[in-house]
Each structure stands twice: as structure tokens, then as C-alpha cells.
Structure 1
């Protein structure tokens, strides 16, 4: 996604080895991503990127149109700026992203509306994924361990 040569971030869709789509600019020719690191695709084929450079989650439709930017909701007891790192989606099309400095996971719906936090003793959460049963697995940098969380009831 990032290129050291031109310092530009973009998402490229391939079919086999053929480039099918390049997502780099919005309708106003502004860059979609500053320095996206992690990427996932939800069930309706939106591309979801955690863009640490912009402190945002950037979601682009399958057609390549910017759907929304989520810039976080800082938990009341935390004071750090939103810092999305890992990103994944679940079976309900929710988007989950780690907030590295605030030690939590944000859950937003597929339209970018904040739903809730998962804050259960996480320590510098980085990567995350869900399984078929919507169990959440979060890799923690400081603790050097993976925590399994049952977050859907």
C-alpha cells in the first residue's frame, strides 16, 4: 500500500496479476490515504484502511468512492489522539480497529457510526481479527500476547 519511492499511499485491486483498480484520490483529487498500514474488506466489498498518518479509518466503496472517514471518539478517561492500527470486520459488517495509544478497540458500523469501545485491560493493541463466531483476537504489543474476547452477545 505504501511506496517509499513516491511517498504515496494507495490501494490496488488485482485480478490474478492484472491491475483492476487503483484507489488513491477522491472526487476532488485529494489523497484518500496519508500513510495507511492495515487494510480489510467488509461483506459489502468496502475497503477499510487504518490510516495512522491521518488518525482515521478511511472507507471506500467497491466503486472507489469515499464513503466516510472515522476519526475516533476518545474514551473519557484517556487523553491521547485516536491512533488506529489493526483493522478487521465482523459478520454484521461492523468495522473494528485498535486504538494503540488509548488501549482499546473501537467498533463502528458499516456506515461509520460509533457503536462502542472494547476496553478490557488491553495494552497497546496492534493487530486484530475475528473468527466465524465473532470472537475477537487482539495482539498486544506491550504484553506480547494475544487476547481472545467474546464481544457479541
Structure 2
């Protein structure tokens, strides 16, 4: 199995990013398209994860350390791609000088983010018709070892 994550650019990688998010959020989860695409697309740092050279997931990091739009194609779930993607986003945030990151997790995904070290930090709320909760993580100050990941600090 070959998984790899790379930095993505909204201008040049828009089709791949949109394809994954369209399938996961708009089609599968019924998020209205007008809520899926927002004013942060061009300014966010996007990420794409590939399996066998095919884009299977995406996520982004916006100002203030907010991780968002994490999506893995249904047929690619269970490969460890979500955790790999999250770890890379956390590492990028730490290397970029962020001390903390946060995200609005779908309630059903809370256990996934808790396993990665995130902690709930607020009450449940609705976003795009789906229950969410804010989760926060303090990033490690030290350089992680080869086998460590920033999302468990």
C-alpha cells in the first residue's frame, strides 16, 4: 500500500480537491454546495493524500490553526489515510509556528480525533445540518522523532 500526502494549491489542484469534497460532503453527507465552498479556499493551505497515485482525501489549514474540510473517499476508508493526513497537517502547522490547532469535528468522528490527541472544548452545535463539536490540540515544541507524530502531543 502506498499512501503519501502532499501540499496542494487551490489554483492548480482545485479539480482533485473539489472532486473528493464533492463526493464526501455534498453527495454522501448532503451538505449544500453553497456551504461547502467558502471564502477560505484561496487562502488556505490545502493537502491531498494519495493511494496508488490516486487522490483519495483532502484537508486544509486556515488562519489561526483551524484544520478543516478533512475528507477521505468512502472506498478508501480503513487504509489509515485519515490519520496520515491529520498527522501531516499537524506537522505542517507546528513547523509553520502554530502552537495549537483546532477543528470542528462531526460528532461521529470524535473518537477518531481523540485517538489523535484532540480534546473536546465546547458544546455540540450544528454546522451544515450535521452535529459538530470543537476540538483542540496543543502541538509539541520539539522536533518529533521519525516514528512520532505531532497529533499525539
Superposition TM-score, scaled by structure 2 size:
0.35
Q: Which has the larger radius of gyration?
A: 1
Determine which structure has greater relative contact order: mean sequence separation of CA pairs < 8 Å that are 6+ residues apart, divided by chain length. Answer: 2
More strand by share: 1
Superposition TM-score, scaled by structure 1 size:
0.35
